[in-house]
Each structure stands twice: as C-alpha cells, then as structure tokens.
Structure 1
C-alpha cells in the first residue's frame, strides 16, 4: 500500500478484483454446497511439500489467481446446504473489520503499535462484562487464538492464583482440574502444554438424563480432595456443549467450591465458564418473553427461555471463554477470554518491563498476555459484530436459526423410519437415526438404547448411520443431485452418547451413532430441510442396495 492518499495505490483495485474472482467460485442459485466446479484435491500428500521458493518474483495477479484457486472445492459456508458443524457464515461488518488490520498491521501488544485500535478489545470486553452482569470497569478481556486459547488462559490464571510459586519454580504440586465428562477435549491440550499434566484432569460424571455435571459426584470429589490436602486448581463448567447444548449448573458449582476451599497455603480455585458455544444465549437477558417482540414460535420461545435460564448463572464465574466465530457469526479467529477481576488477573500474571517497549498509552497488555504479537483482526471482528448486530440482532439470528432446526425435528418426527437421537437438545443441531424401510424407528431405538441384549442391533445400525453419512458426503463431493437439487453437506457422530445400559462407558462400542444437521446460516429455510430428509432417505436406500 502507498504511504499517501491520492497517489497510485492499486490495493483497492486488487482487493476488488480478488473478491470478484473468489465470488466467481460461488455456485449459481440452486447450486452445490462447495466453491468452484469440483471438489478434487489439487495436490497429493506428502509430495505437496516438495515446493520451493521461486527464484524470481511472480506478478501479484498470478499470486492472487493461485490463491483464489486454493478455495476451489472448499465447503461454501455461505450456502444454506452447508450444515456439517458449528461453522457459521460471518456477518459483513465482522469480515470487513477483520480485514482492515491487514493494511496497517496494528499489534495489540501495547499502545504505541495499536493506538485507538486498542479500543476494540477494551470496548468489546466491557460490553461482554456487562452482558455477564459484571462491573465492566473492574473486568478485562484478551482476544486470543481460539476457544482452546481461552481454556489455556483460564488454566494459567488458575495455576498462578492457586500455586503462586509456580511462575518461578514451575508446577511442583499435583493440583487438580475438575471438568465434566462433556468438557471439550482441549482440556488435554491445556494441561499438557501448561506442564500441569493430563493426569491431573479429574472427569466428573454427568447426569445420564441431562448430561450436566453430577453435583453429588462433584461434591464427593471436592470433599475427598479437601480431606487429602490436595488443591483444586480450577473447576470448568461447560456452558453450552457443541452437540447437545448442555449447560453445567454453574451456580451450584460455585456454592460447592465455596463450601470446600483449598487447604491452607494454596490460593482460591478458579471457576471457569467454557461458554464458547453458549455465550450469546445470554443476550436473552434483555428479552421480553411475555410480549415476544420478535415473534418466535411457542416451541422456539420455550427452548430459548430454557437456554437463557441455564446460562444466566454465568456471572458466578471468575472468567469466561467465548468464540465470536461460533455463535457470534464472525470469521476465524475471534475468541475472547473475559475475566471478572482485572486487578487480580493483570497483577498476578504481570511480567517485568521490556527495554524496547514503552508505555505511551494507558493500556499495555504485553505484560500479561501469552502472545507477544497479537493481531487486531479478532478483536475488531468481535467488536464490529456486537455493534452491528446488537442485542436484538443476535437474538433474531439465534432464534431464527433455531426455528429452522425445530422444523427439521418435526420432519424427523413424521418419519416412521427415523427417530430423534437427542430429542431434548436445545441447540441448533438435530441428531437423528435412520433405519431400514419398514422398521419402527422409535421402538427399535428404544430397544437398542435400553436393552443390553440388543447390543448387536445397536452396532449394526450404527454402521448403517455411518454408511449413510459417508454416502451423503460422497454425493455432496460429486455434486450428486436428488430431485434436481444438490446434496447438502451434513455430518454424522460416531458416539455422541453411550447407550443407557453402558452408562459407565465400559463397553467402548456401546455408543450411539447419529446423523446430524447443524444449520448455522441465515439463508436456511424449511424447504432446504425438506430436501435433507429426501436425500437422507435416498442415501439409506442406496446403502441398503449396496449391502445386499
């Protein structure tokens, strides 16, 4: 980019050209759920790594063309047919805001290199603190490299608080991290990379009906650790799991943590809310459920109210991790670690000064962040989303997509050969099983779920779900059409829960497989979900023919 305006600076023209080029990869109306005309991989592994830096410079037009070509065959997140996971289409304001830092390269290490761009982190942190019913002036936030980064920040905060000597001498005490069985697998990343050790994660069983952390089991473990003089580093409440949208009972967890404090000589255990998938339901704190101004259906309103009632205790947490690139509909990566007590966090995590960095503004997070160089892309994306959508916009998007998901549930319920695998799910996902033609799906699934004697049938129909899921993916990749319309991009789970007769998980194969749709697109609608049902049944029939 040129240093001055008014001169020859072709960045805007090049950007316009690049956007037009990548837009040309989009399908025509009614087209496939991938970009370009083919999903064929354009490389072989590991031969692809035999690349070398070109001896001479290539033209920017060639580089741009080569770059755009990399997107050919990629799932199109803007397509309503893309519903494989928590993969939302980013909103326009967040896309634009996250691109601007690429031009002038603000580094939010400290004020000199970011100046007013720092406001995006400070203001969005304040808005989120207010959303969580904390005092914004006393709270703080750090944008980081993902939900696992938030988890890692929470763990490091907890270790430093409970084991203050660990900063100089390292972790020398086997303190415990308590999580529910539904907690995200990044718990292993965080305890491994922090040096605390994966063996110090204590998994608390979940209630088989609700999938929430079992409070009796938690209290028993806290009591046991207290009696043994072993400190608890932190308890992690998952506030909205990826598939089942389950919220741990955080208010009760806080009560138990206060009842069983750490032994003398250790700091207070941290209560961390992993709310990367659930945080935005808190926006319904401001919703009038009686007047229902956005006109949600009674069933959607019931689910929304349930989600809000589950998450509203989030203010009991010491810190919260959120992803804007999940239920905030923003681009990767826009994760934010929000902490209630800025004075404590920023002081106990503070490191010494740096000779070549000076404090020229009031905000200098370089002293306590994990990262040194930090792009402003994530903070601007999150900040722009909060301002652009606002409370009502987030409510409308969440509720609108929920309506589509509930419609999908109703379609499954109408099919005698399909059954909801998790009918009480309150998120965007529909988990369902499909059975051979003529099968009473509800009766069959109930038997597989509750009768150990039906284990072989469960495993057989698990293989059927997997085969249907793989057939759907094959059709999606090839652009296969059913009734003149492309196959959607959906997914399947190879064990989102154990069978009821296998609650302890002792039978590694005694899990429930399910197909799943995860609509995260504002262009999705009932007709798209009608087509999903048609395609799934066609895939079932094709799989059965191949198995004959």
Structure 2
C-alpha cells in the first residue's frame, strides 16, 4: 500500500507534473493539513473574510484577468470543499480520486469531446468502446455483443435500467406513455438506493399502484421467496413486469443480491405462465462493482497475503459477483470505489439490441447527418450532451492501476472494515448490523452500556414488529442515546455518518415495517489506517 499511495495518491508533481501548476500546488498543500471539518475554515488563512466576500459577490468582473494569476476565491472554494483525501473521511461511498484519474479527466476536459455524437467526439468514442470491452471481459459478458454508455452518475445508470425494461416490454410507451395498454408492475428491493424510487417518479410511474418493493432478509439482500410470490401474483393476473432492480452492494451495510436465482426464476415463471416478455434485470452495482477485479484471483495461493478473515468474506462476496454476468445491464460507478473524479459512471448493457428499444424516430434529429446518426448510441441516449472527463479519468485509472492495483486498494479497505468490526465487537454497547456482509460499509448501533448489557438481544427486541407504546418508547430511548453520542463525539479518528435506515424491524402480517437508525463508516479511503480506527473507538461513547 505504501507504494500505491506514493505513486498514485500523493499528488506528487515529480510523478504527475500537472500538480506543478501554481494553483493546483497551493490547493494540494492546503488540503494536506487534515483539520476536522468544523476547524477547517478557521485554519485557512483569512478564511472567514474570504467566505464573507464569496457570499456577498454578485457581479461578474468588467474586464479580463491576467492569465495564470491565482484567483483567491476560486482557490478558497476548492480548498474548503469536502476533503475526501483526509484519512478520517469514511462517511459514505465516496473516496479521493487517484492521481492518474485526475490527469486523465483533465485531458478529457481539455479536449472537450461530446460523446453523444460521433462527429463531436471522433476518437474519444473509441476510448469509450475500449473501456466497455474491458469491463465486459472482466465481468463475463461477450465483449463483441455488449455495449455501454458513460453517463452522469449512478442514478442515470439505474434510470437507463428501468427504461430498457419498459421500452422492451411496452414498446408503445415511447409514444403513448406508461398508462397505455397492458397493466404492469416494476419491482425493486426495500434495501435499494433511493434512486430506485425517485427514478420511477421521474418516469411518471404511479409509485403507489405500479411498484412493488420486495422485502429484505437479515443480510439486507432481496428476499427471494417474497420476490417469487410477487412475480407469481403478477403473472397470474397477466400483469407485465418490465424490470426488476437488484442491488449488489447496498450503501449502508453492503447487502449483495443474488442474480442467477432471479435470472432462473424469471425464465421459469414466464415459461410456466406462457408469457413472451421476460423482465429486464438491472443491477445497481454502483458501490460493489470493483469486486469483479477478483473474479480470477487465486484465493488458494492468495498472492496479496490478504488476512484470513477478510479473504474468506471476500471469496463469499466474489462468488455472488460472479453472477453479475446474468444481469441484462448493470451500473458501474468509477467515482466511488474506482477512485475517479465526479462524474464517472457507466451503464453496462449485455446485448446491444437493448439500446434499439430506446431509439427515437430519426426525424427528431433533422439537423444531424443521417449517415452518422446510426453509428453511435445517439438516438438512444437520455442526454443531448455527454461529457468525456469521466471516461478519460476511468480509462486512465484502469491503465495505471491495473487489476492488481485495484485488488490491493480493495483489499486494504476490506481489511480496515474487518478491523473496525473487530474493535466494535469488543466494545460494550456496540453492535454491527448485518456483520455477515463483510463489505467496505459498516453500519452499527450503539446502546447505553449502563442499561443494555446484551446488544444482540436488544436489537432482536427492536426488530420485532410491535406498535405498542412500551416497545416504541424503548426503541426511541435507544435511538436518542446513539444520536446524542454521535453528536457529542465530534470528529475524532474517523468521520462517520448518521443514517435513518441502517436496518429495519421485522414485518407485520400486512407487510408493514419500520426503519431503525444508526451510524456507518465506509472504508474506501486508501489513506485510512488502524490508528484512525483506534482513535475513533476510544471515544466511541463520547467519553
């Protein structure tokens, strides 16, 4: 790890001359001082004055500035942006971008291709095809048949996933809308990202009547029995299911859905009910996708000397990610565990024919050359403009880090996460949620050790679905204790995040349930070490 850090995460101008720019050099230096968030403004020279001036600024300058002159408000805003390169920053599924990705993204910005149209991007289009082929090869898609689109974030990738299903199952929806024709239901999981729902709202889907949210298990993955029951109910009524949205790596506890059983179930049930439309399976793997770098890892030889506990859990998760090839499409967020700057997201598509379902009529694009339109994804994309900075950053990161570099970075994060789980397991009042998931995300709840002597039993009590006043009062007491500790602890060792849904109660007879809040840390930061974890645990209960 020390070599990886020095070569690819040090912002070293001797290795990456782009950081010799005076503005970038000052920015890097100012962000090396890892003050807690609340202290960063005071630590920045003249910070309070610069912030006041920025807030009061409302006029564009009359004349041009001297080229190369550092503009202080610009540098200040960059310097005081969230410092993901701080080793304590583990709040969410975000991490610092690596140096080669920054370099690649800057080349993409300077060239300024628009990937939506071949004449506007030329050879940059071939770079996109190259990354798509590389990811296809890695996951087990046929590189000659697969395709993909770089787009603006994981939410857009998941939006494409829904659209593939809708347009393939309900082709008239392109012109007549979703409420025309046959009845339908779109299925996702209660443990999925919020974009699973917001995208459907954006598409005009009636959330109350046209969506089914499948239950989750104690591991926060999709409940396959409930999924089967829901599909059977739909198919018995001749109700279409255009799309099933799965998740491989939930944000807060890294629940990983199985894909192959869903793939098999869809085909078995559509054959049983004589249906011609098989649901499109899209996997939101925005968080977990880098585990595909381990699909050909020699777990027996273990060349990276990954510790035994992490190796076993990694192997378990990799076996699940081996099933990603059965998805019709999936989300790749390079901007998360791929160490690439925002935004860099790719929707991978197993069969390029899926894009044909999204094609709009050629007459809608009258001011583009007809002969060029069909040579790209132009008529099928959501965007009229697709910037290439994310593509260039992703390609550069893949080329400089390589599979082995990614494996080392991923293993480092997973070993940190396991060490954190170990420390919490030996701390009174602490309980890891879905400990068996063993991903980079660690969700946990804290209880007052003076009151709760057995956190496992206490969580079991909380997870009972019980709307009685006594039950609500006890859960509320526990929630308040943890929330108060979280606020009093401050930023020490690790910067964690409060989440309103770190786990859930069981289900009532009618399927009702309640969320349970908690705290999470996500170990993707390549600069985080055990000493940061130790300092955090020492103040875990804000003592």
Fold similarity call, TM over 0.5 = yes
In the other structure, the counterpart of 1:449 is 462
Alpha-carbon distance in 1 for matches of 2:253, 2:510: 19
In the other structure, the counterpart of 2:384 is 372
* Deviation string, structure 1 residues 472-527 (Cα, Å, up to 9, x no partner): 4xx33xxxxxxxxx55321122231123487977464xx43322222221111111
Paired positions, count: 511
In the other structure, the counterpart of 2:265 is 256
1:148 to 155, 158, 177: 155
In the other structure, the counterpart of 2:505 is 499
Q: How does 1:104-503 map to 2 (within 5 A)?
A: 104-171=111-178, 172-173=180-181, 174-199=183-208, 200-207=210-217, 209-261=218-270, 267-346=277-356, 349-352=359-362, 354-358=365-369, 359=371, 363-439=375-451, 440-442=453-455, 445-446=458-459, 448-449=461-462, 455-472=472-489, 475-476=490-491, 488-500=494-506
* Deviation string, structure 1 residues 198-243 (Cα, Å, up to 9, x no partner): 2322111122x23222222222221211121211111111111111
3-state SS of 2:298 partner: coil
Change (3 A) 1:410 1:119: same
3-state SS of 1:137 partner: coil
Alpha-carbon distance in 1 for matches of 2:448, 2:399: 49
3-state SS of 1:514 partner: strand
Task: Check whether the contact 1:271–1:318 (CA below 8 A) recurs between aligned residues.
Answer: yes
Alpha-carbon distance in 2 for matches of 1:125, 1:400: 26
3-state SS of 1:379 partner: helix
Change (3 A) 1:471 1:325: same
* Deviation string, structure 1 residues 361-394 (Cα, Å, up to 9, x no partner): 9942212111111111111122222222222222
Deviation of 1:444 after TM superposition, in Å, equals 6.1
4+ runs deviating over 6 angstroms = 12-15, 39-44, 262-266, 501-505
Alpha-carbon distance in 2 for matches of 1:464, 1:51: 44
Q: How does 1:78-89 map to 2 (within 5 A)?
A: 78-89=85-96
Alpha-carbon distance in 2 for matches of 1:494, 1:42: 35
Task: Check whether the contact 1:409–1:420 (CA below 8 A) recurs between aligned residues.
Answer: yes
Change (3 A) 1:131 1:40: farther
Larger mean CA deviation between 309-318 and 297-306 belongs to 309-318
Task: Check whether the contact 2:414–2:440 (CA below 8 A) recurs between aligned residues.
Answer: yes
3-state SS of 2:92 partner: coil
* Deviation string, structure 1 residues 432-464 (Cα, Å, up to 9, x no partner): 333335452536634643565554232112112
Deviation of 1:165 after TM superposition, in Å, equals 1.4
Deviation of 1:189 after TM superposition, in Å, equals 2.3
Change (3 A) 1:100 1:15: farther
Q: Does 1:536 align with 2:540?
A: yes
Alpha-carbon distance in 1 for matches of 2:436, 2:291: 17
Q: Which runs of 5+ in 2 are unaligned?
A: 1-16
Alpha-carbon distance in 2 for matches of 1:333, 1:274: 16
Change (3 A) 1:245 1:96: same
In the other structure, the counterpart of 1:18 is 23
Q: Which runs of 5+ in 1 are unaligned?
A: 1-11, 477-485, 542-548
Deviation of 1:259 after TM superposition, in Å, equals 2.0
Alpha-carbon distance in 2 for matches of 1:244, 1:54: 48
Task: Check whether the contact 2:358–2:379 (CA below 8 A) recurs between aligned residues.
Answer: no
Alpha-carbon distance in 2 for matches of 1:14, 1:408: 34
In the other structure, the counterpart of 1:526 is 530
Change (3 A) 1:446 1:13: closer
Q: When the two structures are superposed, what TM-score results if normalisation uses the length of structure 2? A: 0.86
Alpha-carbon distance in 1 for matches of 2:461, 2:36: 36
Change (3 A) 1:74 1:214: same
Change (3 A) 1:40 1:191: farther
Task: Check whether the contact 1:88–1:329 (CA below 8 A) recurs between aligned residues.
Answer: yes
Change (3 A) 1:41 1:522: farther
Change (3 A) 1:138 1:501: closer
Alpha-carbon distance in 1 for matches of 2:266, 2:510: 25
Q: Indicate the RMSD between aligned Cα atoms, in angstroms.
A: 3.0
* Deviation string, structure 1 residues 83-120 (Cα, Å, up to 9, x no partner): 11111111111111111122221111222221212122
Task: Check whether the contact 1:428–1:520 (CA below 8 A) recurs between aligned residues.
Answer: yes
Alpha-carbon distance in 2 for matches of 1:142, 1:244: 28
Deviation of 1:49 after TM superposition, in Å, equals 9.1
Deviation of 1:401 after TM superposition, in Å, equals 1.0
Q: When the two structures are superposed, what TM-score results if normalisation uses the length of structure 1? A: 0.85
Change (3 A) 1:32 1:212: closer
Deviation of 1:351 after TM superposition, in Å, equals 3.7
Change (3 A) 1:458 1:76: same
